[in-house]
Amino acid sequence: MSISVRDALGTFKKPAVISIIGLIGFIIGYVIDVTVFSDASPVQPINFSHRMHVSKNSIPCLHCHVYADKTPSAGVPGVSKCMGCHKVIATEHPEIQKLATYWEKREPIPWIKVHDVPDFVYFTHKRHVLAGLACQECHGPVENMDRVTRVSSLKMPWCVDCHTKKQVENGRDCWTCHK
Amino acid sequence: MNKISRRDFLKFIGAGSIGAGAGLLYGKSTKKTVELLLPQVIPPEDYSPGIATWYNTICQQCGAGCGISVRTREGRAKKIEGNSNHPVNQGRLCAMGQAGLNALYNPDRIKSPLKRTGERGNNSFTEISWDEALTTLGSRLGNLKIQKHGDSVYLLTGGVRGHIDKLFATFMEAMGSDNYFHYDFTHPFALYEANRIIFGEEIIPYYDINNANYVLSFGADYLGTWISPVHYSLAYGHLRQGRGNQRGKCVQIEPRMSLTGANADEWITCLPGTEGLLAMGLAHVIMNDGGYTGSDQNEWMQAVTPYSPSVVSRQTGVEVRDITRLAHEFMKHQPGLAIGGGHTEGNTNAVASLTAINALNYLSGNLGKPGGIIFNPEPAFPNMSIKRQANYTQMLELITAMTNKGVDILLVHNTNPVFNLPPAAKFIEALHGVPLLVSLSSFMDETTALADLVLPTHTYLEAWGDDIPEPGVGFPIASISQPVVKPVYNTQSIGDIILALAHQIGGELPVALPWTQTEDYLKDSWKKIYQERTPVDATAGFDDFWKAALMSGVWGENKTRPLIKFDRLSNNQIQKIHVSQPSFAGDEKDYPFVLLPYLTQTFYDGRGANLPWLQELPDPMTSIVYSSWVELNPKTANRLGISEGDVLEVQSIAGTIRAPAFLYPAIRPDVIAMPIGQGHSHYGRYAQNRGVNPMTILAPEVDDTNGALAWSATRVRITKTEERIRIIKTDGVTRTLGRQILGNNSVHT
Amino acid sequence: MSDYREPTYAEVNRDILRTLLETGSRYWIVFGITATIAIVCFYIPWIYQWHVGLGASGQSRSDVWGTYLSNFIFWIGLSHSGTLLSAVLHITRSGWRKAIYRSAEAMTLFSLMTAAFFVLIHLGRVWFVHWSVPVPNQMGLWPNFRSPLLFDVMAITTYLTASSIFIYMGSVPDYAAVRDASTGLRRRLYTIFSFGWRGTAREWHTLGWAYTFFAVFVIPLAVSVHSIVSWDFAMSLVPGLHHTIFAPYFVCGAIYSGTAGIVTVMYLLRRCLNLERYIREIHLDNLGKLLIALSLIWAYINILELFTGWYSGSSFQYEALTYKLFGYYAPLYWEMILFCAFIPQLIFWKKIRSSWNIMFVISILINIGMLTERFLIVSTSLPRKFLPNAFGFYFPSLVEISITIGSFALFATLFLIFIKWTPCVSIYEVKETLKPLRRVE
Amino acid sequence: MGKMRDKLKQYLKPGYYEKYDYHWGMTIDLDRCTGCEACVVACQAENNLPIVGEKRFKERREIKWLRVERYWEGEYPNIKLRFIPMLCQHCDQAPCETPCPVAATYHNQDGLNTQIYNRCIGTRTCAVYCPYEVRYFNWFTYKWDEPLEQQLNPDVTVREKGVMEKCTFCIQRIRQAKDHAKDDGRRRVRDGEVTPACVQSCPTKAMVFGDLNDPNSRVSKMYKNPRGYKVLEELNTLPKIVYLKKADSDV
């Protein structure tokens, strides 16, 4: 019998190929999951279009997200705010009728969170807005989106990158953002 | 392997798809769960997400009446802090007050009205609606009212004050019943009585520890549990370090070291119950050494004659040297204060003792001046609550009435007589004679567990109310309690319940109580204060006044303390000052130890036991958590062969309990002490079946003068049992071992 | 059994390869038992602990380190036997090492693996253990290079890598021997393992050179590993741990326990695999002498520790020692002194030194003593640091005890696998010690 | 080489002494402190300390970032009990910071000794190295009985099992105060604007907290009090909490 290593390795060729194919499959599967089945753009209970409101009707962000420059949280407008306009505007639209149903039942609309940071992160909209950051820098061109899609990863490297680039004071101290 | 066989191809496909599947699953597992953004339907004005809102209200964990600020976020209470506007606690707050959140969000609160289904005490209840509950009770009350049997309705509450107390009183009056009592174990009956004897009025004056140079405390644990601990702690801090180089001295006289004793400069023990005798001894020295030169000198001389230092020394166990020294120090370092409380109040001679202690203040001329005793001016609205406090003897009368079927309906609110009365009073047995026991309580305490109908009330953080702190702070103030959060459970505020009942019963009740909401009732009541007490030129209307009062949480006219002078005592009064030896239940031979049950600043009289933060708070003196224990001197323990954790049987003439021993270095060898507060059989998961209640072995001794329970007048014997448990405490070694931990002046032993 | 004749080359091959190629039922029974214990006592409690949190152990507020760490040090210590001994003896050309070094090195490898497991068990959040590896990232987060624990991670991984290579390299000619004696799949596997070893002069030369190189390389590594482990303790301020002597103390203790470990393993191999002809009295005798020397050094350092503690006059240090000597765990301390300082002195007698059974017992006692020593380090110092009020007490929980027992089974399991994978006595080096070729009569 | 030397210098003298805005410190007056433990509950409430339960106390696994230690002195009847609140001393030469392999604990620019919970892998080395034993480990993931979780402070993380935690000087309050200062266009936080929960609650005003870089702050003045000392000063950890020892009565 031969003592050639290559010959001996030949025996294990097939299992190796199978494992490699399996690994490639795994990677493909994962990539498919994060791209195709991404949670960056969830389907909302009401088909609300930012494009319609912001681009077409020129409503500024802070008109609805009233708390963004005042508190850590930007705030979703209350149902009453929506109804403020939609009592008269586009009342026949099926989506607006959905809204009206919520309003009649005095129920909040169960919006699905698109931009979410973990519980151990301290993030304040106020400081970012007051520092002169445009909403679009993090949220992307929302004004052109029919359904809001997350464009930033909202992961720590992404935060740190920007803090580093903009030379935020103490921007790289852990306790600036963690709690 | 140039050609791929069919078989191999299938294998490859299989591997690839299994891998892809695993990849998909892995991707799924790394994703966050969907979170919802729920907007307010109509956002309230004072709400902004992520920003705290503070509401000022009153703490009602004990009777001190501190003002609190509650931090709320998104409609939930997050933290309780002291209200810095409030003169009682000036922004500070004790452990118990801060644990109020645990009461609000307690998992064992009663969540809706309950009706008893099984036998009494079986703890079987069914939930009913508020309508049903109120109709049931209202019709029963209404029937009695129609039958002119309104006086068979009894109402027993804790130390409710302010306009809620008045609401109760009006209600009961309209019902035609004058059987409205308070029962609060911690109420200082003896102090009120002693003050009545000396000052002629049932009051607690303002003890100005702030400016005192010498505080001589006979058992009063003013830093821990006595009357208004936060206020006195503030004053203590000021006395120690707040006045430049002038540092006041604190002396504590008590058989078992309390928290105040630990902080005093000098801790002196005397035989239990002889504090009054010691005070008389001091008075004797003061008189004989010419420390008092008032016009009634001779009468005083006469009163103190029997209490020469040598006699007192024999009676109290305090050395003559110490008696004279204390007397001289007390006279020399004026202004000074002599105060009494704690175990002094729990003896058969309590009133006499406290009178004698009061006499020291009189003799040193400390009445009505800064650093001494300052009398409170007329309050904004009268505090009738003190008059309604029922002491042990009065409770016995109630119990007799219950036994004799004289009580048709007993309403109990915020008090727990089953737990806080010694079993010798036979309260539980007497309940058999009560056809309807209604509990208005937030928690399933021992009394509520026996109730036929349970109407769950709001906690103080959800309800409207008001209060005048008692004792006052030397100038008139009043504070409002407002709801800081929406009700957590299906409960109602006690005021609303009473008002609803009034409307339910009908007759003259809705006339006397025309309001439907406590808030309106309070506003109307406060209009009086506004009209009578605010300067006429006030431009603001009542609404602004009300808003301002709510915002600051407290209303007060001015912040200077008017000094009300005190007249001399009548000769008759002086002659009456006489302290006898205390008596104890049980023969000294059979029961060699005096049992000192004491209040803890965590559980107070047991009401704090259901709050997990307080259960987990190490006892300040022993660091023990979650249990009961028996404190005894290491010498005693050594003599009896007892070590820490040995379960002892503590036996008095009234009963026996078992608790582990704890060697407490600062207690007289002839006494043992036990904390009150544990030993609940109900009261929620944190309190239930934990430790023992020393109240259950108290003999029904009462004060000679006012008939209040003498809760430190029971003798016991202790026997070591075979059982041994590990006491749960956080302390390791409680000696410094010569290490420089406390600074260089610490005494090494 | 009683054939103590010097074996021939063919017999060497036969005897040693037999241990590899022939597997009796006895082996499977023993393997089954150890593997079961390893799973039941080691992995299942660990999974349980993983699930509920470290509270499953007996560690508490005052004593946050427990048996996991002391066992870690013990196993690291045990690992010092092999590589160090093998390497030192190799470069000092001690011929007697040749029959024992392979198993000694294997011991190193597997006790290191066991030790590494203890690091993982010790961690509160083991699922983030990769954060202690210096990988550059966008967050600008690096491990803390000042941390003795990070030194540990690096030292142990380096040591593990180096000793794996060391043992593998020395085994290549033997793998070739296995290859030549086997057929089928095993032959193919060993063809790969032996890298196509043919036994040419050039191959032998390269092997010899590389082996010596690694021997030199591994010695300072081994010394540094245990010094670094000792810094985990010595760099703290804790009285009783804050000693400059700790590094040599740990290294000496490590070699000591490792050498005793070799005696134990040697005894078992000799008995169970019938290797009497290869593992002989001379090995026992030499190892015995080594043990005496080490026990004396160890005892000296212990005395030194007591002396400096007493001489320091520092209340903290003095009290820590008093507690160690007379406190709750005093019996364990005196047991350790007895097992590690006094009993080994018996080895001075030739009779004892040459008795396999007695030496086996002594070697086990020494390791019990050393296990105790490590336990005492954490259990007497940590609960009594500076503030008396925070003094506590430590007693291991069932989970910890079980994992400790399981770790021995885990080690045994790994070793048993090794026996069937690599010749546990170096075939070619044993042959070197034989007289040159002679004919069998 | 020059660059190396600069680096070394920088390392030996970290910036938080003068470079940055704040150097938070605290004084605790033991002459005022009564040992009432209001601060302990305040800390528990503010920082979401778990309710660990009786069993965990028995195992000595309680979590109290601030505890009150007690020491008896003398023998009956001449006996005294002394209290000393013990919390993280935020040492400037913190022994706990060096050994963390993942740098989960470090000194930040405010001179605080900080602990990043979500970086912690639970080696517990910091707790071993801490001479004050003020680091607490999460032996379990603790649960709050419903609805007690509603009182959790949203500004503070709830820690999971396997994580070390300790006093932060209520860093969330410091952050809040800085935020307010920025809103007002101020560069610095005013003295007294930040009070950690324990300081806020103290019924005898025994604790003072503030910025040591500001010579006029109350805490800087208290630092100069002749009664001041630091616990275990001989270990040279440079603790930032100065205790004022109990005074003798001058009567």
Is residue D13 within 8 Å of B66, Cβ to Cβ? no
What integer pLDDT is reported at residue D251 of this predicted model? 46
- Closest Cβ opposite residue B37 in set A13, A18, A76: A76
Q: How many CB pairs below 8 Å do chains C and D form together?
A: 145
Q: How far apart are CA B609 and CA B631, in angstroms?
A: 20
**Is the pLDDT assigned to residue C222 strictly greater than 70?**
yes
The pLDDT value recorded for residue C369 is 95
Task: Please report, rounded to a whole number, the percentage of residues in chain C having pLDDT higher than 90.
Answer: 50
Mean pLDDT across the stretch A121-149? 91
What is the rounded CA–CA span in Å between residue B692 and residue B540? Answer: 55
Distance from CA of D238 to the nearest CA of B (A): 15
d(CA B698, CA B704): 17
CATH assignment at residue D141: 3.30.70.20
Could you tell me the residue ranges of all domains in chain B?
114-184+389-457+493-530, 189-374, 593-724
A135/A166 same-domain check: yes
Task: Tell me how many domains chain A contains.
Answer: 2
Is C312 found in the same domain as C208?
Answer: no
Contact B78, D153 (CB under 8 A): yes
Neighbours of A160 (CB within 10 A): 19
Domain match, C31 and C96 both: yes
Q: Which residue of chain C has the CA closest to B742?
A: C387
Contact B739, C388 (CB under 8 A): yes
Q: Are residues A169 and A145 in the same domain?
A: yes
The single-letter DSSP state of residue B150 is G
Nearest to D156 among A124, A170, A179 (CB): A179
- SS3 category, B268: strand
- From the candidates C316, C389, C391, which should be mutated to test the interface with B, based on the most B CB atoms within 10 A? C389
| Interchain CB contacts (distance < 8 Å): B and C | 25
Length of chain A: 179
pLDDT of residue D20: 62
Contacts of A95 (CB under 8 A, 6+ apart): A46, A47, A48
Domain that holds residue C53: 11-129+147-221+394-434
Question: Distance, in angstroms, between D200 CA and closest chain C CA?
Answer: 25
The two beta strands, B249-253 and B554-556, are unpaired
CA C280 to each of CA B284, B495, C107, C286: distance values in angstroms, whole numbers, following the listed order = 98, 96, 19, 10
- Counting residues of chain D whose pLDDT is more than 70, the rounded percentage is 94
Taking CA–CA distances from C184, the nearest residue in chain A reads A1
Q: Is C237 in Cβ contact with D121 (below 8 Å)?
A: no
How far is residue A43 from each of residues A31, A112, A140, B29, measured CA to CA in Å? 21, 8, 18, 20
CATH number of this structure's domain B189-374, picked from the four choices 3.40.50.450, 3.40.228.10, 2.60.40.350, 3.40.50.150: 3.40.228.10
- Report yes or no on C313 lying in a domain: yes
- Report the domain count for chain C: 2
Residue of chain B whose Cα is closest to the Cα of C319: B737
Q: Among C65, C129, C132, whose Cβ lies nearest the Cβ of D124?
A: C65
Q: What is the dihedral of CA B470, B471, B476, B477, to 10 degrees?
A: -40
DSSP of C133-159, one letter per residue? S----TT-----TT-HHHHHHHHHHHH
Contacts of C176 in chain A (CB under 8 A): 3
Check CB contact under 8 Å for D118 and A126: no
Percent of chain C with pLDDT over 70: 97
Instruction: Test B613 with D44 for CB contact under 8 angstroms.
Output: yes
- D100 and C144 within 8 Å at the Cβ level: the answer is yes
**Does C135 reside within a domain?**
no
- Mutation target to probe the B interface, by most B beta carbons within 10 A, among A18, A48, A71, A105 is A18
Domain that holds residue A59: 50-76+111-177
Q: How close, in Å, is residue A168 to chain D by CA atoms?
A: 13
Write down the pLDDT at residue B677: 92
Closest by CA to A174, choosing from D118, D163, D88, is D118
Cβ contact, residue pair B98, D203, below 8 Å: no
Q: Which two tokens stand for residue C398?
A: 């069932």
Contact: B733, C389; criterion CB under 8 Å:
yes
Contact (CB, 8 A) for B351 and B359: no
A168 shares its domain with A137: yes
Decide: A109 and A79 in contact? Cβ < 8 Å.
yes
Find, among B278, B346, B349, B351, the residue nearest to B308 by Cα.
B278
Pick the residue with more confidence: C296 or B385? C296
CA distances to C12, C169, C422, C426 from C19, in Å: 11, 20, 9, 12
Q: What is the pLDDT of residues C65-122, one digit of tens each?
A: 999 999 999 999 998 877 777 888 888 887 788 888 888 889 999 999 999 999 999 9
| Out of D121, D137, D231, closest to residue C132 by CB | D121
Chains that touch A (3 or more CB pairs under 8 A): B, C, D
Of all residues in chain B, the percent with pLDDT exceeding 90 is: 67
B697-731 pLDDT per residue, tens: 999 999 988 889 999 999 999 999 999 999 999 99
- Evaluate whether the domain defined by B114-184+389-457+493-530 bears CATH number 3.40.50.740: yes
Domain extent for D135: 17-244
Q: Which residue has the higher pLDDT, C138 or D20?
A: C138
| Whether residue C184 is found in the same domain as residue C328 | no
Residues of chain D with Cβ-Cβ distance to B617 below 8 Å are 37, 40-41
Residue B352 above 90 pLDDT? yes
The pair of structure tokens assigned to C242 is: 């804050």
Is D201 contained in some domain? yes
What percentage of residues in chain A have a pLDDT greater than 70? 99
Confidence of residue C7 (pLDDT cuts 50, 70, 90): confident
* Lookup: tokens for C334: 């005196």
- Interface probe, candidates A7, A27, A33, chain B, greatest B C-beta count within 10 A: A33
Same domain, C206 and C160: yes
pLDDT band at B748 (very low <50, low <70, confident <90, very high): very low
Query: What is the reported pLDDT for B724?
Result: 94
Examine the domain organization and report whether A58 and A24 are in the same domain.
no
Residue B629 has pLDDT above 70, yes or no: yes
Residue A138 lies in a domain: yes
- Which chain C residues are Cβ-neighbours of A172 within 8 angstroms? 140
The pLDDT, as a whole number, for residue A8 is 82
* Residue B22: pLDDT over 70: yes
- Contact at CB, B749 and D75, closer than 8 angstroms: yes
Return the number of CB contacts < 8 Å for B and D: 244
Architecture of domain B593-724: Beta Barrel (2.40)
* Beta-carbon separation of D41 and B613 below 8 A: yes
Indicate whether A21 and A57 sit together in one domain: no
For the stretch B483-508, pLDDT in tens is 999 999 999 999 999 999 999 998 88
Asked if B681 contacts B690 with a C-beta cutoff of 8 angstroms, the reply is: no
Query: Is D33 a member of any domain?
Result: yes
Mean of all residue pLDDT scores within chain C = 88
State whether C191 and A157 contact (CB < 8 Å): no
**Is C140 a domain residue?**
no
Which backbone phi and psi does B638 adopt, to 5 degrees?
Answer: -60, -45
For residues C24 and B229, give the distance between their C-alpha atoms in angstroms, rounded to a whole number.
Answer: 81
With CA atoms as reference, report the closest residue to D246 among B618, B249, B333: B249
**Is the CB of residue C183 less than 8 Å away from at least one CB of chain A?**
yes
- Band (B664; pLDDT cuts 50, 70, 90): very high
Smallest CA–CA distance from B739 into chain C, residue: C315
Report pLDDT for B746: 41
Residue C437 clears pLDDT 70, i.e. is over it: no
Tell me: pLDDT of B158 over 60: yes
Q: Which of D19, D116, D155, D174 to mutate to test the interface with A (most CBs of A within 10 A)?
A: D116
C25 touches chain A (CB under 8 A): no
Q: Mean pLDDT across chain A, nearest whole number?
A: 88
SS3 of chain A: CCCCHHHHHHCCHHHHHHHHHHHHHHHHHHHHHHHCCCCCCCCCCCCCCHHHHHHHCCCCHHHHCCCCCCCCCCCCCCHHHHHHHHCCCCCCCHHHHHHHHHHHHCCCCCEECCCCCCCCECCCHHHHHHCCCCHHHHHCCHHHCCCCCCCCCCCHHHHHHHHHHCCCCCCCCHHHHEC
User: Do the chains contact at B247 and D247, CB–CB below 8 Å?
Assistant: yes
- Phi, psi dihedral angles at B56 (to 5 degrees): -90, 135
Is residue B538 scored above 70 in pLDDT?
Answer: no
**What pLDDT, on a 0 to 100 scale, did the predictor assign at position B749?**
33
